[in-house]
């Protein structure tokens, strides 16, 4: 019943390796044979543990869904400050990064599976609601100034930007040296969407945070 943390069971090794390969090579370019090869097991063995490739994808997606669900929880009880938002965005981006294969070929993936599409829709909906809720609280607390209509539009833009930021990073013109994907930059771009609606003090505060983040002291 309990998960011994001895060497990973084959089933879990398959999931872990699949995730790694999907992320680096893109799900459409990774076959069940490739996965088996990498693990040095037989294709037959892989199919003993999973009905088919889609089954593997669904299991991975389920883990992703659970993790992003936690990241999207808006902490109850007190009005979030900018650092809270920053942290939360970080959790969200890290989750997306860890399951980036989902986002890489998102349309194709969701078109192929009604089930995944429904679940992903739900995630988007929750993300939108989380953002709206945070904004509404910021307005109530006086840190932000925005109409309901503005909040809805901004929330939408934040969702789009967050969903596709990694894709954008990957197809972007190579602007010189550091080509590794930059989550911090993604958060910064999200904050830019929020900034114009913050009141002066908070806006200044945000700029300071942004400077720290874009030019880390280390």
Partner DNA sequence: GTCTATATAGGGATAGAC
Partner DNA sequence: GTCTATCCCTATATAGAC
Q: How many residues are given for the chain?
A: 218
User: Residue 112 CB, nearest distance to a copy of itself (Å)?
Assistant: 8
DSSP secondary structure code for residue 179 in this structure = -
Contact pick of 79, 121, 141, 148 for a copy of itself (by CB under 8 A): 121
Closer residue to a copy of itself in complex, CB, 26/75: 26
How many chain residues are in contact with DNA, going by CB under 7 A? 20
> Per rule CB under 7 A, is residue 54 in the interface with DNA?
yes
Contact pick of 3, 44, 51, 107 for a copy of itself (by CB under 8 A): 107
Closer residue to a copy of itself in complex, CB, 14/159: 159
| List of residues 6+ apart from 68 with CB closer than 8 A | 92, 95, 96, 99, 123
CA distance 132 to 203: 19
Helix axes 82-98, 148-171, angle to 10 degrees: 40
- Residue 111 binding result from DNA, a copy of itself, none, given CB thresholds of 5 to 8 Å by partner type: a copy of itself
CA distance 130 to 186: 18
User: Residue 100 CB, nearest distance to DNA (Å)?
Assistant: 19
- 68-87 positions binding DNA, by CB under 7 A: none
DSSP string, 47-99: HHH-SSHHHHHHHHHHHHHHHHHHHHPPPSSS---HHHHHHHHHHHHHHHHHT
Give contact residues for a copy of itself (rule: CB under 8 A).
26, 28-29, 104-108, 110-111, 117, 120-122, 124-125, 150, 153-154, 156-157, 159-161, 163-165, 167-168, 170-174, 188-189, 192-193, 196-197
């Amino acid at each position: 019943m309990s998960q011994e943390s001895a060497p990973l069971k084959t089933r879990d090794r398959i999931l872990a390796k699949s995730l790694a390969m999907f992320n680096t090579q893109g799900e459409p370019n990774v076959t069940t044979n490739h996965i088996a090869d990498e693990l040095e097991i037989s294709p037959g063995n892989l199919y003993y543990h999973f009905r088919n490739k889609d089954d593997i994808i669904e299991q991975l997606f389920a883990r992703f869904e659970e993790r992003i669900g936690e990241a999207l929880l808006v902490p109850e009880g007190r009005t979030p400050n900018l650092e809270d938002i920053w942290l939360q965005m970080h959790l969200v981006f890290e989750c997306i990064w860890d399951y980036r294969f989902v986002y890489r070929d998102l349309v194709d993936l969701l078109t192929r599976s009604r089930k995944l599409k429904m679940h992903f829709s739900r995630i988007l909906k929750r993300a939108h609601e989380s953002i709206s809720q945070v904004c509404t609280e910021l307005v109530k607390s006086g840190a932000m100034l925005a109409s309901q209509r503005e909040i809805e539009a901004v929330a939408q833009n934040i969702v789009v930007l967050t969903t596709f930021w990694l894709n954008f990073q990957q197809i972007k013109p190579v602007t010189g040296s550091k080509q590794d994907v930059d989550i911090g930059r993604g958060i910064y771009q999200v904050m830019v969407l929020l900034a114009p609606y913050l009141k002066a003090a908070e806006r200044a505060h945000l700029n300071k945070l942004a400077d720290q983040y874009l030019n880390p002291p280390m």
